Chain A
Amino acid sequence: MMKITGYADKMSVAPGETIKFMVNSEAGKRYRADIVRVICGDENPDGPGYQEKLVKTAANGSYKSRKQVIHAGSFVEIGASDMLDGLESFTMQAFIWPTTPEIGTQAIISKWRDRDKAGAALIITKENGSIALCLGNGKGKIQTINTGKPLIAREWYFVAASYDAKTKTVTLVQEPLHGYETRNDRATVRRKSTVGRVPNHDAPLTMASYFKAVDKGRTVCGGHYNGKIDSPRVADRALSAIEMQSLKTWPVATELGNSVIGAWDFSADIKGIKINDLSANLLHGEIVNLPARAMTGWNWTGEEMNWNHAPDQYGAIHFHDDDIYDAGWEVDFELTIPKGLKSGVYAARLRSGEDEDHIPFAVRAPRGKPTAKVLYLMPSASYQAYANEHMNTDSPIGQLMAGRLVQLDKFNLFINEHREYGGSCYDSHSDGSGVCYSSRLRPILNMRPKHRAWIGATGSTLWQFNADTHITDWLEAMNIDYDVITDEDLHYEGLSAIEDYSVVVSSSHPEYHSVEMWDAMDAYQRRGGRLMYLGANGWYWRIQYHSEVPGVIEVRRNEDGIRTWEARTGEYYHSFSGEYGGLWRRNGRAPQKILGVGFTAQGFDISSYYVRNPDSYKAKVKFIFEGIGKDEKIGDFGLIGGGAAGLELDRADRLLGTPPDAYVVASSVEHTDIYLVVCEEMLVSTPGTGGHENPLVRADITFHETQNGGAVWSTGSIAWAGSLAHNNYRNNVSRMTKNVLKRFINPKPF
């Protein structure tokens, strides 16, 4: 099991700028940190072999080990205030849509101090999964009064608990919004409390958890709740049943309003992290660990799908006990990028005895001063979307898709056991709902050199970051100068991040793009820029970055496309931006429009090869095949599945946007039946969607010109890069890639 892990505060940094590294080390008293340039992360002895170059920097050295932990689980925190701290009698109420009422204590609204078990909390009780009020006198006596009627998962309830300090009377309300003839889950319970005086304290009011402690500035909670909460309220006396009903909505009559301590509206500031109190007390708060916002609320009618149009129906937040945004670790060391350090993919290598981890990052060229004609676009958004993906331990479809036994490595084993490190946008939360946010402010243990992925076909079995080192390895082996930027740079800087480069080289699987990134690439091409798309399933999902906090993306898996979970109906619009999410294809921008090709099929067992099409003999594209014979199989070799055409495949399609005069110069053949046509191509389920039979199961290599001398060359296969190094880089995949790169560097129009 890994004993050393870490992350950085940035994924991209320029000379003169500083990057900070946060490390958890339980591996001996000290560990060694060194900066390395990552050339090839593939340890497969049948390939070029693992290559990294030590870089001497001031950050290299020995550091003291310390344990740093992640506190996962999202909640709302309302800071201490006299109004809350002085409460004697009270009412707590909310609408809830619990997803796991059966798993144990989960706090809905809590004014609780766990240190001495003092205060009160409206909870779902572990005893029977019903609504309860927990009271603690701070002297060891705790009383939990519950309704005794288990909640049904994924149903809306109105729930309330009141406490009259004078009469010691507790009233509980559990009111299903939809009744079932065969279930009795409605309850009103009135009981006397026996705990004595419930003391005041200054611990924060929390929702979806109860307060435990502060750890190095981070609020740590327990009793994390899974599910939605809508319209939470706190009043300073035990309200009557009619008053509770009135307080469900806002505003309320003056007399009742005077008793309201807080009435929080989760539909306000959905894009942000603030929680808005509608009451005159202005007890605003914040969300912690990014629970899902823009979720349909208790009053969602189904008539409106866009939260921007009816925010009042989107007053729910969905909390998860495994949400994580920022691990919040303390900084262990920093690196100021030396002036003159060559742009590239680097990592902080951490070692202690046998334990090792790498924290990758991109070093850019000095800002505004490109040092090469070629730019490698490191797909940081896609790395984030896949961050700490758990399909190999969680999903039974893995071995079917891979067509073989899946392989796990030390990184997989670690994240399987450390769920607090958070999931990827391919995973589901512990309650089964999809992970729609993914942050880079935590160790991402599948974004590592040496990592092997279950999904990466036979052979080297690589995916994403480590698979992409086949591209950097090839660039180095060919002595091609290149700079590197990340998706995040492109998102925030737009066209200016890439416009000075003659050629942009993509990664093997640049799947996730914001509209800012899309527009920048489109503008680059129209102004004469040239893109070499060395992959497949690119420009597929729409994402967005958070507007207030750094390093986190959102994906809504809407309606269509290859999805490992499905966004719930009515929840198709990004909370971060209000944009309609999902496939770019369903946003009017199919990948074919910007790449010439777009996602058509996938399979993860073995790869295949391409054969030349008649287009390849046309004069305009002759340069692509220089030195390649007429009947040569292209890429019938390679480290990823044994061929250059494999894993995910893209094809040209005029109707989806492939430019009218694009050249389809080669197409792959002979894929197995593990390869299946993607679901967005199937309006009607029909037999024969496998590689043996279906003509849509193929990768196309295309070339098209764009305005002002620009061009796009696409390989349509994730496995392409795995064939570059074959036979010491002397092969037709390497040859073709180099032919195109050399021609693309040449500014002459086509």
Chain B
Amino acid sequence: MPNEVESRAIEEFRETPIGHHSTELQVILNELRGQPMKDKYCLISIKANREWQLAMTSGVRGKPVKMLNKKFTNLKEAEWYVFKKRWKQLRGETLR
């Protein structure tokens, strides 16, 4: 499970996924958000500023973005959802 420093950073992210961050959180985000383009999460704008669909870039020029069966009406939720997915992928741990 996340250590104490990570746990604080994760809580900080849940509260403020975009904006001013502690150094500890920023280091984590640099790793999570800096992943290569293959199967990298992104959002597709469905309704301007109101609805987004989760998707993944292919990492291959010309190859379509893969649309995923998950929509959001709140960017904060989208950030947290993807944070958990990436944490699981990179750390093997499930966050709740």
Q: How far is A417 from B62 in the complex, measured between Cα atoms in Å?
A: 4
Q: Give residues 427-462 of A contacting B (CB, 8 Å).
A: 430, 450, 452, 458-460
Q: Which of B33, B43, B79 has the most CB of A within 10 A?
A: B33
Interface residues of B in 1-39 (CB under 8 A from A): 17-21, 23, 26, 29-30, 33-37
Given A395-B37, A400-B30, A407-B52: A606 in contact with B19 (beta carbons within 8 A):
yes
Q: Whole-angstrom distance between the alpha carbons of A315 and B30 in the complex?
A: 43
Judge if A404 is at the interface, Cβ distance under 8 Å.
yes
Contact residues, B39-89 vs A (CB, 8 A): 40-45, 48-50, 52, 55, 57-58, 61-65, 75, 78-79, 82
The 4 closest A-B pairs by CB, nearest first: A43-B48, A399-B33, A44-B49, A404-B18
Q: Which residue of B lies closest to A406 (CB)?
A: B42
The interface residues of chain A lying within 8 Å CB-to-CB of B82 are 405
- If A395-B37, A419-B61 touch, does A405 touch B44 (CB 8 Å cutoff)? no
A40 → chain B closest CB, angstroms: 12
Q: A416-B64, A419-B62 are in contact. Are A400 and B45 (CB under 8 A)?
A: no
Partner of A458, one of B18, B41, B52: B18
- The docked-state distance in angstroms from the alpha carbon of A420 to that of B48 is 28
Cβ of B30 and Cβ of A45 under 8 Å apart?
Answer: no
* B48–A45 touching, CB < 8 Å: yes
- Set A407, A417, A458: member contacting B44, Cβ < 8 A: A407
Contact B65 A672 (CB under 8 A): no
19 further A-B contacts with Cβ under 8 Å, apart from A404-B33, A419-B61, are: A46-B49, A396-B40, A397-B34, A399-B33, A404-B17, A407-B44, A407-B45, A408-B45, A409-B45, A417-B62, A418-B62, A419-B62, A430-B61, A452-B45, A459-B49, A670-B20, A672-B21, A673-B21, A673-B26
CB distance from B81 to the nearest CB of A (A): 10
The answer to whether B37 and A413 have CB atoms under 8 Å apart is no
**Complex: chain B residue closest to A46, CB-CB:** B49
Asked if A393 is an interface residue, CB under 8 A from chain B, the answer is: yes
Chain B residues with CB below 8 A from A405, complex form: 41-43, 75, 78-79, 82
Q: How many residues of A contact B (CB 8 A)?
A: 36
A441 vs B30: C-alpha distance in the bound complex, in angstroms?
A: 39
Which residues on the A side are within 8 Å of B57 (C-beta)? Answer: 392-393
B85 to chain A, nearest CB (A): 11
Closest CB-CB distance, B49 to chain A, in whole Å?
5
Q: With the chains together, A394 CA to B40 CA distance in Å?
A: 11
* Interface size classification for chain B: 35 or more
Contact A416 B65 (CB under 8 A): yes
Most B CB contacts (10 A, CB to CB) among A44, A46, A403, A430 go to A403
Interface centre among A44, A396, A405, A408 (most CB of B within 10 A): A405
A606 contact set on B, CB distance < 8 A? 18-19
For the complex, what is the distance from the CA of A408 to the CA of B52, rounded to whole Å? 9
**Most-contacted residue by chain A among B23, B29, B45 (CB, 10 A):** B45
> Residue B43 contacts which of A394, A408, A417, A418 (CB distance < 8 angstroms)?
A408
- Give the shortest distance, in Å, between A297 (CB) and chain B (any CB): 28
What is A's interface to B at a CB cutoff of 8 Å?
A: 43-46, 392-397, 399-400, 403-409, 413, 416-419, 430, 450, 452, 458-460, 605-606, 670, 672-673, 692
Query: A406 to B65, Cβ gap below 8 A?
Result: no
Q: In the bound complex, do residue B79 and residue A404 qualify as a contact, i.e. CB atoms below 8 Å apart? A: yes
Given known pairs A45-B48, A45-B49, A408-B55, the reply for A394 and B61 (CB within 8 Å) is: yes
Residues of B within 8 A of A450 (CB): 48
Q: What is the bound-complex CA distance between A458 and B65, given in angstroms?
A: 22
A413–B64 CB distance below 8 A: yes
> Within the complex, what minimum Cβ distance (angstroms) separates B9 from chain A?
14
- 8 Å CB contact of A406 from B19, B29, B43, B61: B43
Chain B residue numbers with a CB within 8 Å of A407 are: 42-45, 52
Q: Which of chain B's residues have a CB closer than 8 A to the CB of A458?
A: 18, 75
Quick one: which of B19, B34, B37, B65 contacts A605, CB cutoff 8 A? B19
Bound together, the chains give a CA A403 to CA B23 distance in angstroms of: 14
> Which residues on B sit within 8 Å (CB–CB) of A459?
49
Residues of B that sit less than 8 Å from A by CB: 17-21, 23, 26, 29-30, 33-37, 40-45, 48-50, 52, 55, 57-58, 61-65, 75, 78-79, 82
Find out whether the CB atom of A417 lies under 8 angstroms from the CB atom of B64.
yes
7 contacts between A and B (CB under 8 A): A43-B49, A404-B79, A405-B79, A408-B44, A459-B49, A672-B19, A673-B26
Complex CA gap A408/B57 in Å reads 10
CA–CA, A35 to B36, complex, Å? 42
Closest to B42 in A: A406
CB <8 Å contact, A393 and B65? yes
Among A399, A400, A417, A450, the one with the most B-chain Cβ atoms within 10 Å of its Cβ is A399
| Complex contacts, A397 vs chain B, CB 8 Å | 34
Q: Would you give the shortest CB distance from B54 to chain A, in whole angstroms?
A: 9
- In the complex, what distance in Å separates the CA atom of A744 from the CA atom of B37? 48
In the complex, which of the residues A46, A394, A408 has the most CB atoms of chain B within 10 Å of its own CB atom?
A408
Are B62's CB and A416's CB within 8 A? yes
Q: How far is the CB of A640 from chain B (nearest CB, A)?
A: 12
A605 to B37, CA, bound (A): 19
Residues of chain B with a CB closer than 8 A to A416's CB: 62, 64-65
* Closest-CB distance, A527 to chain B (whole angstroms): 43
In angstroms, Cα B40 to Cα A605, docked, is 19
A403 contact set on B, CB distance < 8 A: 18-19, 29, 33
Q: A459: nearest residue on chain B (CB-CB)?
A: B49
Q: Which residues of A contact B35 (CB under 8 A)?
A: 396
**Nearest Cβ on chain B to A4's Cβ, whole angstroms:** 19
Q: B61 → chain A, closest Cβ, in Å?
A: 6
Residue of A407, A430, A673 with most partner-chain B CB within 10 A? A407
**Cβ-closest chain A residue relative to B34:** A400
Q: Which residues of A contact B65 (CB under 8 A)?
A: 393, 408, 413, 416
| Whole-angstrom CA separation of A419 from B64 in the bound complex | 11
**How far apart are the CA atoms of A606 and B19 in the complex, in Å?**
6
Report B25 CB to chain A, min CB distance, Å.
10
Question: CA A606 – CA B62 in complex, angstroms?
Answer: 30
Report Cα–Cα, A690/B59, bound state, in Å: 29
- Cα-based distance from A397 to B50 in the complex (angstroms): 25
Closest-by-CB residue of B relative to A670 is B20
Closest to B82 in A: A405
How close is B76's CB to chain A, nearest CB, in angstroms?
Answer: 10
CA distance A460 to B45 in the complex (A): 11
**B64 contacts A392, C-beta separation under 8 Å:** no
On whether the beta carbons of B50 and A45 are closer than 8 Å, the reply is yes
Given A405-B41, A405-B78, A400:B33 Cβ within 8 A: yes
B47 CB → nearest A CB, Å: 9
- Whole-angstrom distance between the alpha carbons of A153 and B41 in the complex? 32
Smallest CB–CB gap between A656 and chain B, Å?
29
B-chain residues with CB within 8 Å of residue A419 when the two chains form the complex: 61-62
Asked if B18 and A396 sit within 8 Å, CB to CB, the answer is no
Looking at B21, B58, B78, the one whose CB has the most chain A CB atoms below 10 A away is B21
- Is A396 a contact of B34 with CB atoms below 8 Å? yes
A400 and B26 CA atoms in complex are apart in Å by: 10
Inter-chain contacts of A408 with B (CB < 8 A): 42-45, 55, 65
> How long is the Cα–Cα vector from A673 to B52 in the complex, in angstroms?
26
Tell me how far the C-beta of A451 lies from the nearest C-beta in chain B, rounded to whole angstroms: 10
Measured in the bound complex, the distance between the Cα atoms of B58 and A458 in whole Å is 24
Which single member of B21, B36, B48, B78 contacts A44 (CB below 8 Å)?
B48
Q: Assess the B45–A394 pair: CB atoms within 8 A.
A: no
B34 CB, min distance to chain A CBs, angstroms: 5
* Chain A residues with CB below 8 A from B19, complex form: 403, 605-606, 672
A396–B31 alpha-carbon span in the complex (Å): 11
Residues in B with CB closer than 8 Å to A45 are: 48-50
State in angstroms the CA–CA spacing of A43 and B41 once bound together: 24
Complex CA gap A405/B42 in Å reads: 5
